[in-house]
Structure formats: structure tokens, C-alpha cells
Amino acid sequence: MAATVELTRFKVDPDKTEAMLAARPGMLADFRADRDGFLDARLIRLPGGEWLDVVEWRSPEDFAASRAKGANLPGIAAFFATLGELVSDEQGTLAAPGSTR
């Protein structure tokens, strides 16, 4: 089964950027500890104060279960608290797995 990919584009107020980046490791640690099927995440800075979070899940069911939990742990809540406007949120299937690692 191909991995499910979550693509979330959002804005962060410039005065919260450092807090968001500082909260990121805690969010990822909580995801690893609490979210079955969490595979990886990459945060990309885009022009215009926007960010793209690319999160890979083992399956659509794992992604849905994670969504249902919301910000249930402190590291996740701290990261989410820094986010501003949601620009877009999409889900897809990884078509060609590969890595540059």
C-alpha cells in the first residue's frame, strides 16, 4: 500500500516564527509516540510568510485517526498554537516512493 501524504499550507505571524520552529521537535516527538502510522514530516518555508507541512502516513486510516486526536498532547498543542491562517489542506497518495538520504 502506498503512503498517504498530508499537505498543509499555512501562515505564521512573523513574531511567532521562532516559537513555531522551537515547538516543532516536540510536536514530532509526540507524533512518533502517539500516532500509529506516522512515517515522516518535512516543513518547508515558502515565499510570502507561508509554510508547507508535508506529512507521510502509512495509510489514510492512520491519517484520519491522527486527525481525530487533534492536539491531544502538549508538544502538538504548542506547535498548533503558533499557527496562523490555514491556506490549504490536501491529502494524496505517494506515487513514486524514493529518498535522497
Predicted structure pTM score: 0.89
Look at residues 47, 34, 60 and name the one whose alpha carbon lies nearest to residue 87.
Answer: 47
pLDDT recorded at residue 2: 84
Q: Where are the alpha helices (DSSP H) in the chain?
A: 17-34, 60-69, 74-81
Cα dist from 85 to 2, 4, 60, 82, whole Å? 30, 24, 25, 10
Task: Give 10-residue mean pLDDT values along the chain (101 residues).
Answer: 92 96 98 97 95 97 95 98 96 76 46
Protein fold of 4-89:
Alpha-Beta Plaits (3.30.70)
> What pLDDT sits at residue 1?
67
pLDDT of 101 reads 46
Indicate the Cα dihedral angle 99, 92, 11, 44, nearest 10°.
10
Alpha carbon distance 88, 83 (integer Å): 13
